[in-house]
Amino acid sequence: MGRPRRIVLIRHGESQGNSDDTIYERVPDHALELTEKGLRQATEAGMRLRELFGDERVQAFVSPYRRTWHTFRALGLDPRLTQAREEPRLREQDWGNWQDIEDIHRQRKARDAYGHFFYRFAMGESGADVHDRVGSFLETLYRAFDKDDFPPNVLLVTHGLTMRLFCMRWFHWTVQEFEALSNPDNAETRVLVLGASGSYSLDRPFERWCTPGLPGGGDI
């Protein structure tokens, strides 16, 4: 098949951590589940995706977190047409082990001031680390495109920051362009669509919370 016609990225539905950040003190990030609202969001997103994919085959790559797998299952894609595999490189930015709520708030505020790409959580990752592992995943994806029977659709079930960094890596955005973008909402999608020229474009841009600064300076 070669290059897929579309690459769909979807953020997981609302999780327990999105509705109550104190839960990080007692439940590991990777074990957080969807809320009832998150399950509804994923189910509604599945209706749109089933219409988009039609009767075409789909290769899905799913972050190993519980909320992403629950999101994938709630999409209700046809199992006869969909093959799914776990992909650890699409996981959330690691914060590192158990969290203290006051420390979470302090580090979030520090990250906003320092920059989401370069700031490194005390026991976890920086956005740059996620960018690097997303780049490694892309190498795997490119090799898969060479298979004659590769499906016309790719689905990545992942996280908001990871979605932005995937697109940054794919479209060669600068750090300042990345920093100007907001995360998509829960269960929101972005689609890379293959054009007649052989290159991909986004079906719609990410929302911006500010204007990118000039290279080497300016506001972020």
Q: How confident is the model at residue 216 (pLDDT cuts 50, 70, 90)?
A: very low
**132, part of any domain:** yes
Report, as residue numbers or ranges, the catalytic residues: 12, 92
**213, part of any domain:** no
Q: What domain range is 52 assigned to? A: 6-202
**218, part of any domain:** no
Query: Which H/E stretch holds residue 91?
Result: none
pLDDT digits (tens, 9 = 90+) for 92-128: 999 888 888 898 889 989 999 999 999 999 889 999 9
| Helices within the chain (DSSP H only) | 16-19, 36-53, 66-75, 101-114, 127-145, 160-171, 175-179
**220, part of any domain:** no
Domain count, the chain: 1
What letter would DSSP give residue 1? Answer: -
Q: What is the average pLDDT value for the chain, to the nearest integer?
A: 93
Give mean pLDDT, residues 17-46. Answer: 96
Residue 220 clears pLDDT 60, i.e. is over it:
no
Give mean pLDDT, residues 53-59. Answer: 98
Position 67 scores a pLDDT of: 98
Rounded CA-CA distance 84/61 in Å is 6
SS3 (DSSP) at 82: strand
Using the structure block, give the residue that is written with the tokens 């979807």: 10
Q: Tokens in use for 148?
A: 């004659």
Task: Find the CATH number of the domain harbouring 89.
Answer: 3.40.50.1240
Radius of gyration of the chain (CA): 17
Q: How confident is the model at residue 1 (pLDDT cuts 50, 70, 90)?
A: low
